[in-house]
Structures are given as C-alpha cells and as structure tokens.
C-alpha cells in the first residue's frame, strides 16, 4: 500500500507563481507515488485573520487553482479542515498529553505574539497541537516540508510519540519529506513572493496582466543604462527565466552580460513564457469555474472520504484512552 501523505495550506485565495513553484507543483507529482490528503486548513486561518469576510471566496479560489494545476480529486482527498469535526476532537485529546512548556517555546508562537500583540488568542499557542491532529487523524506518514518547517514536524512527532507511549500505539510518527522548495522572490527582487507584499503574479492572471506586472519588476540594480553590461546571477527576472524559459537561459545570460539585450525586451520574453506556460492552466480553471457547485462537490466528496478515516481513528483513540463507550439504546 502506498504511504499516506498529508499536507495542509491556509486559504490564501488565488495562488501566485511562488505558491505554484514552491508547493502545488510538488503536490501534483506526489500523487503518483503516495496516497495524498490535501487539506484547506481554514480553522488554522482563524488564529490570525482579522476578518472572515473573504474566507469562503479565498477557499474557492485556492481550490480552483489546485485543481487546475493538476491536483486530481479522484486520486487525492481534497477537503476543508472544518468539514471534518473529528479534528477538533483529536485536538482536544492531544492537548491533554502536550505539556504547555513545549508549546510556549515554539519560535513561531513567539513571532506571532510580536506580530499581533492585540490578538494573542489560545489558538496561537495550540496551533502545533491542531497541526498534529490534522496529520495524525488521517495517520499521515509523510509530510512534505521545507527545512524551516522541520521543528514543527518534530513537535508533532513528539506529541504522537507521547500519546503512543501513554495509551498504546495508534499513530505512526510522521516523517518529513524534505522538498527543495525553491525560494521564489517577488517582483521587488527582495522579499519572498507574497500577496501581502503585492509583489506577486497570480497563476490565473491573463497575459496582459502578467506583462504589466513583470514590467514593474526590479532587475540588476547595477545596470542603470541599456548599454551597461548586466549580472543575471543577481537578477530576479533571470531566476524566473530559469523556471519559465529554461531552453533560453544560457543565451539570455550571455546577451545580458554583453548588454546585447535590454531589460525591457528580456521582461517581454519572460512575460510571454509565463503566459504560454500557464495558458493550459487558465483554460482548465475557466472550464471548472464555469461548472456550478464544482468546488463544493469536490470538497464534499473529499470530506466524506476524510471523515470515514477520521471516524475510525477517533474510535481507536477513545478505546485506547479507555473513555466510556456511549451505550447504544434500543430503539422503540
């Protein structure tokens, strides 16, 4: 049997090429080798959201992007975290075996306290417990992570290890599948690509929008005039060419170095490459978006499949913990 992969993503709305190159593309390829469970972690989002006004729309848009990018709901379970309430149950049960000191030392908790001192809610400190419940509820064995997320996964492993040692084996310890997520810088060439920095290109963007956004990108700061030789190794447009125009990168690098190509033309080539690479994606997305209720149906089907696993796990957990079974009353 294929091992089970679990991965969750906060609902961030339309995905950008940084999301695609850094995560979604990898999820698509994992489907051939693993039994994949992909979850929109909408409850996690509540720990930091100031308003839930856009939450539903963000979920729809993100799931449409996943599906258009190649996440196949026939192969993988695709669902929303809040649709499977057993995760809240397991979160509560795990919270009884997790020492508070483990949670208070988590670096991201300390960062969040600094970032939102007006909203240090319980969910922030319990975040790793809920994350562990997400993975363990489906007996996830493999979790694709970047190196920066390894400490979180180690904490999840400690929690399930502690549960298993206190009550008996239920959960496999999830293993990291280290993925070399390429760091995709935004159009400012400085920060990671992110909607919050407005330095992104949406994967569903039409060609004209791609061109307009690429034209705003920062290039080699030392190349002030068209006649100045460029340094492609420090230029973010060049990095993006490596993903989207791989067959021409050598030529672009040498032309840039001898000032044979200007940045405007170089950007036009990149915009064209991004636009044509993502054209099949845009078409597929538009076709899916035109089907009424398509995303709802995918998520409902995913939740049914996820809940069937979740119910079994919770039964097993309660049995191990010696919680009292609810008596079945005879029907009249």
Catalytic positions, written as ranges: 112, 192, 195
Q: Is position 238 an interface residue for ligand SF4 (rule: CB under 6 A)?
A: yes
CB of 259 to ligand SF4, least distance (A): 8
Residue among 151 and 189 whose Cβ is closer to ligand SF4: 189
Question: Stretches 104-112, 117-125, 182-190, 234-242: which one binds ligand SF4 (CB under 6 A)?
Answer: 234-242
Cβ count near 33 (within 10 Å): 11
Residues 6+ apart with CB under 8 A from 151: 106, 107
Contact indicator for 116, 48 with CB cutoff of 8 Å: yes
CA distance 270 to 273: 5
CB closer to ligand SF4 out of 217 and 303: 217
Angle between helices 150-167 and 122-137 (to 10 degrees): 70
* CB nearer to ligand SF4: pick between 228 and 283: 228
Tell me the CA distances in angstroms from 85 to 81, 136, 327, one per residue in order: 8, 14, 21
CB atoms closer than 10 angstroms to residue 192: 14
Identify which range of 60-68, 110-118, 128-136, 233-241 contacts ligand SF4 by CB under 6 A: 233-241
Contact residue for ligand SF4 among 230, 273, 275, 299 (CB under 6 A): 230
Give the end-to-end CA distance of the chain in Å, rounded to a whole number. Answer: 44
Q: Nearest distance from residue 37's CB to ligand SF4, in Å?
A: 40
Which residues between 251 and 280 bind ligand SF4 (CB under 6 A)?
252, 256, 261, 263, 266-267
Which residue's CB is nearer to ligand SF4, number 50 or number 250? Answer: 250
Does 244 participate in binding ligand SF4 (rule CB under 6 A)? no
CA 142/CA 272 separation, integer angstroms: 37
Of the candidates 150, 202, 170, 9, which has an alpha carbon nearest to the alpha carbon of residue 93? 170
| Cβ-based nearer residue to ligand SF4, 192 or 268 | 268
DSSP string for residues in 243-297: HH-GGGHHHHHHHHHTT-S-HHHHHHHHHHHHHHHTHHHHHHHHHHHTSTTHHHH
The footprint of ligand SF4 on residues 194-223 (CB under 6 A) is 219-220, 223
Q: How far is the CB of 239 from ligand SF4 (least distance, A)?
A: 9
**Which residues in this chain contact ligand SF4 in the complex, by CB under 6 A?**
219-220, 223, 230, 232, 235, 237-238, 252, 256, 261, 263, 266-267
């Amino acid at each position: 049997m294929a091992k089970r992969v679990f991965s969750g993503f906060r609902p961030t709305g339309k995905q950008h090429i940084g999301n695609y190159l850094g995560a979604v593309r990898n999820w698509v390829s994992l489907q051939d080798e693993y039994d994949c469970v992909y979850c929109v972690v909408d409850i996690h989002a509540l720990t930091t959201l100031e308003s839930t006004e856009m939450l539903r729309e963000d979920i729809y848009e993100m799931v449409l992007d996943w599906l258009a990018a190649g996440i196949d709901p026939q192969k993988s379970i695709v669902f929303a975290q809040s649709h499977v309430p057993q995760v809240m149950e397991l979160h509560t049960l795990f919270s009884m075996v997790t020492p508070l000191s483990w949670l208070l030392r988590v670096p991201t908790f300390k960062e969040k306290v600094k970032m939102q001192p007006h909203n240090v809610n319980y969910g922030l400190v319990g975040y790793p417990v809920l994350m562990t419940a997400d993975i363990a509820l489906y007996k996830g064995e493999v979790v694709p992570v970047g190196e920066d997320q390894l400490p979180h996964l180690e904490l999840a492993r400690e929690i399930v290890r502690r549960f298993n040692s206190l009550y008996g084996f239920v959960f496999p310890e999830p293993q990291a599948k280290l993925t070399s997520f390429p760091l995709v810088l935004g159009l400012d060439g400085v920060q990671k690509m992110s909607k919050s920095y407005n330095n992104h290109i949406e994967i569903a963007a039409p060609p004209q929008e791609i061109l307009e956004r690429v034209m705003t990108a920062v290039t080699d700061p030392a190349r002030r005039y068209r006649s100045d030789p460029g340094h492609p190794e420090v230029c973010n447009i060049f990095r993006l060419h490596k993903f989207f125009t791989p067959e021409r990168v050598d030529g672009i690098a040498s032309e840039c170095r001898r000032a044979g190509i200007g940045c405007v033309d170089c950007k036009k080539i990149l915009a064209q490459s991004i636009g044509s690479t993502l054209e099949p994606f845009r078409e597929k997305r538009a076709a899916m978006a035109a089907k009424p209720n398509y995303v709802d149906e995918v998520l409902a089907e995913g939740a049914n499949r996820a809940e069937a696993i979740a119910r079994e796990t919770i039964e097993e957990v309660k049995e191990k913990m010696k919680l009292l079974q609810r008596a079945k009353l005879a029907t009249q």
